[in-house]
């Protein structure tokens, strides 16, 4: 894809840009909707209230910035898949490596975007993220929207 042929590279980069051009407005709408529906009182009991403010700050970010972040994520996933294809790694191993890459980038995005003000050694975001994913009936969590956006980039 990206590493083989110059023409293919231009085509795939253009396709990724086109896909992010139509997806970025929907991602902005999802961020706006999600930030209005977050239960801040419940997040305060979990000591995760700053994540709601960080999600609101993401919503207020410029649209072009959101496009570039999504576009960079898409290119990263395309490059990772292309590197795994070049190494001719088999299907079960390749799928597990890609799953690990998606989960790692999701956790790094949550750590950087929502818990950016926390100390570098503070790993409180891990149980908060797991609580947001598995206890979804208690209310909407900002971590889940980042996971959804990252899952869309991969699929």
| Residues 77-124 pLDDT 10s | 999 988 888 888 888 898 899 999 999 999 988 888 878 777 888 888
* Whether residue 39 has pLDDT greater than 70: no
Domain count, the chain: 1
Residue 69 lies in a domain: yes
* Beta carbons within 10 angstroms of residue 100's beta carbon: 10
Spell out the alpha helix ranges (H) of the chain.
6-37, 40-45, 49-59, 63-86, 91-113, 125-134, 142-154
Is residue 20 predicted with pLDDT exceeding 70?
yes
Burial 108-122 (b: 16+ CB within 10 A, else e): ebbbebbbeeeeeee
Q: What's the whole-number mean pLDDT along residues 25-35?
A: 83
Between residues 114 and 139, which one has the greater pLDDT?
A: 114
Residue 128 or residue 106, greater confidence: 106
Structural domain that includes position 28: 6-154
In a domain, 63, yes or no: yes
pLDDT tier, 76 (very low <50, low <70, confident <90, very high otherwise): very high
Whether 86 is in a domain gets the answer yes
Q: Which of 62, 106, 82, 115 is nearest to 1 (CA)?
A: 82
In a domain, 112, yes or no: yes
Residue 1 lies in a domain: no
Q: Does the structure show a pLDDT above 90 at 132?
A: no
Any domain includes 17: yes
Whole-number Å distance between alpha carbons of 77 and 149? 13
Place 128 in a pLDDT band, splitting at 50, 70 and 90: confident
Q: Please, which pLDDT band fits residue 14 given cuts at 50, 70 and 90?
A: very high
Q: What is the pLDDT of residue 104?
A: 92
Which residues partner with 38 through β-bridges?
140
Closest C-alpha among 75, 49, 54, 17 to residue 145: 54
């Amino acid at each position: 894809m990206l590493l083989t042929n110059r023409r293919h590279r231009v085509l795939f980069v253009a396709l990724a840009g086109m896909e992010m051009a139509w997806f970025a407005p929907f991602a902005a709408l999802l961020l706006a909707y999600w930030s209005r529906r977050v239960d801040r009182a419940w997040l305060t009991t979990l000591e995760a209230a700053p994540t709601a403010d960080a999600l609101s700050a993401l919503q207020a970010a410029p649209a072009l910035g959101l496009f570039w972040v999504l576009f960079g994520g898409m290119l990263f996933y395309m490059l990772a898949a292309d590197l795994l294809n070049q190494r001719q790694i088999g299907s079960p191993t390749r799928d597990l490596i890609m799953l690990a890459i998606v989960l790692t980038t999701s956790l790094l995005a949550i750590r950087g975007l929502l818990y950016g003000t926390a100390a570098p050694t503070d790993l409180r975001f891990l149980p908060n993220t797991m609580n947001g994913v598995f206890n979804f009936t208690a209310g909407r969590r900002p971590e889940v929207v980042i996971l959804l956006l990252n899952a869309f980039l991969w699929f």
